[in-house]
Amino acid sequence: MIIVGITGTIGSGKSTVAKMFQELKAVVLDADQLARDVIEPRKLAWRQILKRFGEDLVHNEEDVRINRKKLAARVFGDPKALKDLEAIVHPRVLREIRERLHRLKRNRRVRMVVLDVPLLFEHFLAQAAQRYGCEVPKLTGARMQDLMAHDWPGNVREVRNVADRYVLELPQAGEGGVPVSGEPTPATLVQQMDVVEKVLIEQALKEHKGRPAAVAEALGIAKKTLYDKLHRHALSIDSYR
């Protein structure tokens, strides 16, 4: 079974492309529809959203569905609120996608599944940033053009790999900085470990607010070694206090 991911901003033609795949007998999993499904009345996500953002988000006493326009207005311009909402909805959508893919894989008549996922690359960036304890990097216009121009022969797995490397600031292979396959890029092991080491030090600095003794203890190294590594990675303790 082939799995293809469709991503893009509003008005980019995702729905049109998905419909074309459906006409070719592909099964389409629409992440936006799944997000609606997981917040249906009485479900856990529905209860969590009302608890976090207010019970007045429902349409009325008879129609207790969440008013998506009200919810959008409540999180718009509030990064903390948006992050809380994503923490409630995204894991359930991903779980639903995985479960449906698992069921579809057992159906021999299904040859292709299309994932209609808005901002797919940005989603994997956020996942990677959380996993490595980094800030989510901003996508420049030039970088987005490179991503859109790439053929993505490795499909969804390749998108995830590129997002990981982008967050860790590892070099990418191929023209425009985008890899030509999901295979590892030519960066040496030393180069990659150096980047990972910097990420771990930055994470410890943030967690312990730049206190040298606490940071060194968390990393399991001597304070002198910590200072040597800070100098090598051009990191300033004062920036984290």
pLDDT of residue 177: 47
pLDDT of residue 37: 92
pLDDT of residue 141: 63
Over range 43-51, report the average pLDDT.
94
CA atoms within 13 A on the CB side of 43: 14
Do 2-177 and 189-240 show the same overall fold?
Answer: no
pLDDT value at 13 more than 50: yes
Which two tokens mark 174? 């191929």
pLDDT of residue 226: 92
- What's domain 2-177's superfamily in CATH? P-loop containing nucleotide triphosphate hydrolases (3.40.50.300)
Residue 130 confidence class, pLDDT cut points 50, 70, 90: confident
| 189-240 to CATH, choices 1.10.3470, 1.10.10, 3.40.50, 1.10.3720 | 1.10.10
Over range 55-71, report the average pLDDT.
90
Alpha-carbon span 65 to 52, nearest angstrom: 15
Backbone phi, psi, residue 112, to 5°: -145, 140
Instruction: Tell me which range, 112-116, 143-147, 163-167, 225-229, is most confidently predicted by mean pLDDT.
Output: 225-229
Residue 237 confidence class, pLDDT cut points 50, 70, 90: confident
Alpha-carbon span 236 to 143, nearest angstrom: 28
Higher pLDDT: 151 or 122? It is 122
Over range 103-120, report the average pLDDT.
80
pLDDT of residue 175: 40
pTM, full prediction: 0.53
Domain positions in the chain are 2-177, 189-240
pLDDT 10s digits, 173-222: 544 444 444 444 445 666 667 777 877 888 788 888 899 999 999 888 99
**Percent above pLDDT 70 for the chain:** 78
In angstroms, the Cα distances linking 40 to 56, 60, 71, 93, 198 are 15, 14, 14, 13, 43
**Inter-helix orientation angle 120-132/189-207, to 10°:** 70
